[in-house]
Structures are given as C-alpha cells and as structure tokens.
Amino acid sequence: MKKTLVAVALIFASAGAFGFHCPADMKKIDEHLATNPAVSAEDMSKVQELRAAGEDLHNNGQHHASVAVLAEAMRVLGI
C-alpha cells in the first residue's frame, strides 16, 4: 500500500512539473520572437500556429502534448 501511495504521489508531482513547464516554453518562444524578428514568413506562421496550439493544450490540461508542440516551435526557431 505504501509503495502505491508513493507512486501516485510521484505521478501527480510530475504532472504538475509539466504543467509549469508549458508557460516557461511559451515565454521562451515569445522572447525569442521579440528579440529576433528575422524569421522567415513561413517559419513565423508555423511557430505562431504551434505556439497557439501549445497554449490551448496547456489550458486543457494536456501538458505532455503541450510540451511536445512547444518543443517543435522552439526547434523551428533554433532554441
């Protein structure tokens, strides 16, 4: 029983960590776009779509998916 409680606690703790990771990634993307505006129109469009999708996923509690989508946006930006 004790092992089960510890496992459940770790799962909830990690979910919270991913939840807090999403806003940090969104902030990195926003800061990069503000300080490095030399992004092609195609990349800018893709990053904006990914950034919006990541925020929507975060707001809907889908943090693992949000982190993945935001990571793709950062990859496009080279960060």
Predicted local confidence at residue 32, as pLDDT: 93
pLDDT single digits (tens) 24-46: 999 999 999 999 878 899 999 99
What is the DSSP code string of the chain? -HHHHHHHHHHHHHHHHHHHHHHHHHHHHHHHHHH-----HHHHHHHHHHHHHHHHHHHTT-HHHHHHHHHHHHHHHT-
pLDDT of the residue at 8:
43
Residue 1 reports pLDDT greater than 80: no
14 compared with 25, residue with greater pLDDT: 25
Q: How far apart are CA 32 and CA 38, in angstroms?
A: 10
pTM here is 0.74
Rounded to whole angstroms, how far apart are CA atoms 46 and 51?
8
